[in-house]
């Protein structure tokens, strides 16, 4: 982690000015903070930065450009330190404040402070845990970033290179995690910013485009789009005479064409395996159902314990009645004989 160095222009404030002394002292605090960060003493670095912020309260002109520049540098430090301490929510809040301060500085001098706006965008790709939030912020800040490229200087170019690399790294990370759609969004932003920096297609944009096409190829429905993208970038590759990248593009196109030609066979095979498995499961379920129905029928034929007890009592009650009837019949027959 390296703190963002924002050079100050204190010549207009007077050599013995108390305001200049405050800003100089805060700048010295930041140098100490950098040493503490290098030693990974983040809590000490946080205390040092908070002390510097307290010193700034004595500065009277809060609209002063140099004051805002120092304040932006301290907010950069706070966001980085809180992120290193895993206080992500606070780090995100400081990032929002940072963009507001930088917006004021860009209005004052876009050529001087433009690169710090882009560095803040790069910081957002590392700090924001929600990739959706990061993408929304990038889209929102593109309006300000686009104006910065009207006056391109070495600071903006270097900051943009850092932003492009960060976006590319996030895209690679998301692709390795299987989130291909989000990965492609970050790659698209990286390519867009890289083109703004150079104004033309160069080797770096071609390489990133090839990587983006490889991610597309992992999603079957997006392979035709990957093919169109590779065909579009191929003439630029030939014009730059980058033989290695040209061979990579041709190899990927061959893979896509082979896959498309063999797709019906794969579909038939998958359909066959799926149908066979489904038939097997249905047959097993039917056999199990018949077995359960047979057991239920057998249970229904067998008398239940309660029913058996009732029948026994009924038979027991009927036996005296039969015996009494038999005795009456015998007496009647004997009487008739007499």
For residue 312, what pLDDT is reported?
Answer: 58
- Is 165 within the bounds of a domain? no
| Final residue belonging to a domain, choices 61, 88, 108 | 108
Q: Is residue 93 part of a domain?
A: yes
Domain membership of residue 305 (yes or no) is no
Give the Cα separation of 46 and 36 in Å (integer). Answer: 9
Is residue 317 one of the residues assigned to a domain? no
Q: Digits of tens for pLDDT over the chain (338 positions)? A: 667 888 888 776 666 578 888 888 888 888 888 888 889 899 999 999 999 999 888 888 888 888 999 999 999 999 999 999 989 889 989 998 998 999 899 888 888 888 888 888 888 888 887 777 777 777 666 656 655 555 545 667 777 888 888 888 888 888 888 888 888 888 988 888 888 777 778 888 999 999 999 999 888 888 889 999 999 989 988 888 888 888 999 999 888 888 755 555 555 555 566 666 666 656 666 666 666 666 545 554 555 555 555 665 665 555 555 556 666 666 666 655 55
Q: Cite the DSSP H helix spans in the chain.
A: 18-38, 42-56, 65-84, 88-108, 110-127, 131-148, 154-176, 180-198, 203-217, 223-240, 243-301, 305-337
In a domain, 227, yes or no: yes
Q: Is 117 domain-assigned? A: no
| Residue 294, in any domain of the structure | no
Residue ending a domain, choose from 87, 108, 129: 108
Counting the structural domains of the chain, the total is 2
According to the model, what pLDDT value does residue 281 have?
59
Q: Which residue segment(s) compose the domain that 268 sits in?
A: 203-288
Q: What is the pTM of this model?
A: 0.60
Domain stop point among 78, 108, 138:
108
Angstrom distance (rounded) from CA 25 to CA 265 = 73
Whether residue 309 lies inside any domain: the answer is: no
pLDDT at 209: 92
Contact 48, 36 (CB under 8 A): yes
């Amino acid at each position: 982690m390296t703190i963002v160095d924002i050079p100050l222009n204190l010549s207009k404030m007077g050599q013995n000015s108390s305001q200049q002394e405050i800003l100089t002292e805060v700048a010295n605090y930041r140098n100490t903070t950098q040493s503490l960060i290098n030693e990974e003493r983040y809590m000490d670095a946080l205390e040092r930065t908070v002390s510097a912020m307290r010193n700034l309260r004595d500065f009277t002109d809060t609209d002063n450009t140099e004051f805002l520049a120092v304040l932006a540098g301290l907010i950069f430090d706070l966001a980085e330190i809180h992120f290193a301490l895993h206080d992500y929510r606070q780090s995100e809040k400081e990032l929002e404040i940072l963009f507001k301060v930088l917006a004021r500085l860009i209005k004052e001098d876009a050529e001087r402070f433009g690169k710090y706006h882009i560095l803040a965008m790069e910081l957002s790709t590392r700090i924001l845990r929600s990739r959706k939030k990061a993408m929304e912020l990038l889209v929102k800040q593109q309006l300000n970033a686009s104006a910065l490229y009207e006056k391109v200087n070495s600071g903006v170019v270097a900051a943009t290179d850092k932003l492009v690399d960060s976006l590319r790294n996030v895209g690679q990370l998301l692709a390795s995690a299987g989130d291909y759609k989000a990965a492609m969004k970050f790659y698209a932003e990286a390519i867009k910013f890289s083109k703004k920096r150079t104004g033309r297609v160069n080797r770096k944009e071609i390489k990133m485009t090839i990587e983006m096409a490889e991610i597309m190829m992992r999603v079957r429905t997006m392979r035709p789009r990957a093919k169109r993208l590779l065909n579009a970038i191929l003439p630029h590759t030939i014009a730059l005479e980058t033989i290695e990248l040209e061979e990579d593009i041709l190899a990927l196109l061959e893979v896509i064409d082979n896959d498309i030609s063999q797709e019906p066979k794969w579909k038939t095979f998958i359909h066959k395996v799926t149908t066979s498995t489904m038939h097997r499961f249905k047959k097993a379920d039917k056999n199990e159902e018949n077995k359960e129905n047979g057991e239920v029928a057998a249970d229904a034929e067998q008398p239940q314990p309660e029913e058996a007890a009732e029948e026994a009592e009924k038979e027991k009650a009927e036996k005296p009645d039969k015996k009494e009837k038999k005795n009456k019949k015998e007496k009647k027959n004997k009487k008739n004989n007499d």
